[in-house]
Chain A
């Protein structure tokens, strides 16, 4: 779907979305890879809100389809929230979101849970955040 980006970037609030399976170790569950082990065509359709200040020590990464070592060591390779935050005082963007979005990229091909639950919840969270734009970064 196309929507023109009508705000000036320097006045816009920007959020990030990664499909790397990132979650917060404190207070969030890892993505459900146990069920995927027993149901190989299923992927956890849930999502996590990742605070912008989260660092390598705060996050875990669950994704059975990629080597997650580099993401764990430097989450900015998948979710550059600290770099994005630096661009606001420089005037490149208006503001960075306080919370970004993480999902796990391997999904059931029918995407029913995504259509009915995950995507609407993410849209609502981004509206609550008053985000003007979202950069999706596949893992």
Chain B
């Protein structure tokens, strides 16, 4: 997830998984995908030869991006998001 951020933070080994937040290993109940991600992470852990090795997982999330984005959002905005929204409203008033 967010492999570019992991690289920026200098993670020594990165598996790029472009899945929604909260779902690093795959959809609920999908043991095949979860296992594939886990096995790829283990191969990268055990086999990477140098700092910054990145291997991207080759499966896209099985739900359109906009729909997936809405699905991973919490029911209520997080406190920091709420604070930022209120600050923006204040500056626009």
Contact = CB atoms under 8 A, between A and B. Distances in A.
B10 to A, nearest CB: 8
Contacts of B2: 138
Interface stretch (A24-32, A44-52, A60-68, A120-128): A60-68
Nearest to B51: A2
B42 A138 contact: no
A76 B43 CA distance: 19
Nearest to B6: A138
Contacts of A63: 22, 74
A58 to B, nearest CB: 16
B46 A137 contact: no
Interface in A97-116: 106
Nearest to A136: B11
A74 to B, nearest CB: 4
B38 A40 contact: no
Interface in B1-44: 1-2, 6, 11-12, 21-29, 31, 34-35, 38-39, 41-43
A106 B42 CA distance: 26
* Chain A interface extent, by class: 35 or more
A86 B23 CA distance: 20
Contacts, number: 110
Nearest to A66: B22
* Chain B interface extent, by class: 35 or more
B46 A66 contact: no
Given A66-B22, A77-B34, 8 more contacts: A40-B82, A40-B83, A63-B74, A64-B79, A67-B72, A67-B75, A76-B34, A139-B24
Interface of B: 1-2, 6, 11-12, 21-29, 31, 34-35, 38-39, 41-43, 45-48, 50-51, 71-76, 78-83
Interface of A: 1-3, 5, 8-9, 12, 14, 18, 20, 36-41, 63-68, 70-71, 73-74, 76-78, 80, 83-84, 86-87, 92-93, 106, 133, 135-139
